Amino acid sequence: MNRIDRRILSLLQRNAALSLAEIAEQVGLSSSPCWRRIQNLEAAGVISRRVTLLDRRQLNLRTVVFVRIKTDDHSQAWLDRFAAAISAIDEVVEFYRMGGDTDYLLKIVVPDIDGYDQVYKRLIQVPGLADVSASFAMEEIKHTTALPLAYVD
């Protein structure tokens, strides 16, 4: 991957609606070589998908909750059941297995505290949870989907 590929990625991750002509112009290529580079980045899995980002506040999803989960069951069978149950909850927008004091971390978006309570009631139906703790975001200071590209070789 070279400087032009990184520039293409930078442009696309900030605005995937840019036309091929706009991208090509900004990276100093004609359309055909630029298109081939984008196709190669997709084929290599560097570009995994293109999506439209929605403003959660405009969709009445004003509350962000980070939920820390601890379990005493660390078997693969339990994780498979847990992951399936969590993946079925639309309000969970991010889900991580962690190292350290917390086993799993969820990011949940809901309209309000009552909305979180409804999600919480679904969460605690999963057998094997030892602790479910929530923290509510007071203010979003930085939020981006753009990945840093300075580390790309």
Name the token pair of 116.
């979180």
The long-range contacts involving 31-40, CB below 8 angstroms and separated by at least 24 positions, are 34/8, 37/4, 37/5, 37/8, 38/8, 38/12
In sign, the C-alpha dihedral spanning 145, 148, 151, 153 is positive
User: What was the pLDDT predicted at 142?
Assistant: 97
56-136: same fold as 3-43?
no
* CA atoms of 18 and 4, how far apart (whole Å): 16
pTM beyond cutoff 0.95: no
Kindly state the greatest CA–CA separation across the chain.
58
Q: What is the residue extent of each domain of the chain?
A: 3-43, 56-136
User: What was the pLDDT predicted at 6?
Assistant: 96
* CA atoms of 25 and 8, how far apart (whole Å): 11
Helix (H, G, I), strand (E, B) or coil at 141: coil
The CATH topology of domain 3-43 is Arc Repressor Mutant, subunit A (1.10.10)
Residue-wise pLDDT tens for the chain (153 aa)? 899 999 999 999 999 999 999 999 999 999 999 999 999 999 999 999 999 999 999 999 999 999 999 999 999 999 999 999 999 999 999 999 999 999 999 999 999 999 999 999 999 999 999 999 999 999 999 999 999 999 987
56 DSSP 8-state letter: G
User: What was the pLDDT predicted at 7?
Assistant: 97
> What CATH class is the domain 56-136?
alpha beta
Name residue, tokens 């293109």: 50
CB-based burial label for 70 (10 Å; 0-12, 13-18, 19+): middle
* CA atoms of 25 and 30, how far apart (whole Å): 7
User: What was the pLDDT predicted at 152?
Assistant: 87
User: What was the pLDDT predicted at 71?
Assistant: 97
